[in-house]
Chains A and B, each alone.
Chain A
Amino acid sequence: MGHGVDGVANPGATGSNPSDPTDATLLSAVAGADRDAFAVLYTRHAPWLQVRLRRRCGDPDVVAEALQDTFVAVWRGAGRWGRRGEVPAWLWGIAIRRLIDLLARRPSHDALTAASDPVVRSAEEQVLLGVEYGDAAGALNRLSPELQAVVRATVLDGLTTREAARLLHIPQGTVKTRMARARSLLRQALS
Chain B
Amino acid sequence: MIAWHADAQLLAAYADGRLDLARTTSVEQHLLGCGTCRATVAAVADRPLLDRVWAETLDVLDRPPVSAAERILTAVGLAPSAARLASKASSAQRAWLWSCALLAAFAIAAPRTEGWVIMWFLVLAPLVPVIGVALAYGPDTDPMHEVVAAAPYSRLRLILLRSLLVIPVTGALVLVTGLTVPGGPTMSALWLLPGLALSAMTLALEARLGALPVAAALSLAWIVFAVGARVGTGTVMTAYGPAVQLVCLTTLVAVAAFAAYGRHQAGRSS
By a beta-carbon cutoff of 8 Å, the part of chain A in contact with chain B is 2-4, 12, 14-16, 42, 44-48, 50-52, 54-55, 60, 63-64, 67-68, 71-72, 75, 86, 88-89, 92, 114-117, 119, 121, 129, 133, 136-138, 140-141, 143, 148, 151-152, 156
Contact = CB atoms under 8 A, between A and B. Distances in A.
Interface stretch (B40-48, B71-79, B206-214, B230-238): B40-48
Interface stretch (B13-21, B84-92, B106-114, B191-199): B13-21
Contacts, number: 118
Contacts of B36: 14, 16
Interface residues of B, number: 39
Contact of B57 (A44, A55, A71): A71
Nearest to A50: B45
A156 B28 contact: yes
6 contacts: A16-B36, A42-B54, A51-B44, A55-B24, A68-B53, A156-B25
Chain B: interface secondary structure? helix
B151 interface: no
Nearest to B26: A133
A68 B50 contact: no
Contact of A47 (B22, B28, B34, B50): B50
Contacts of B32: 86, 88-89, 92
A55 B17 contact: yes
Nearest to A20: B35
Contacts of B28: 52, 156
A64 B35 contact: no
Interface in B57-99: 57, 60-61
The winner among B22, B38, B44, B61 for most chain A CB atoms within 10 A is B22
B33 interface: yes
The winner among A47, A89, A115, A129 for most chain B CB atoms within 10 A is A47
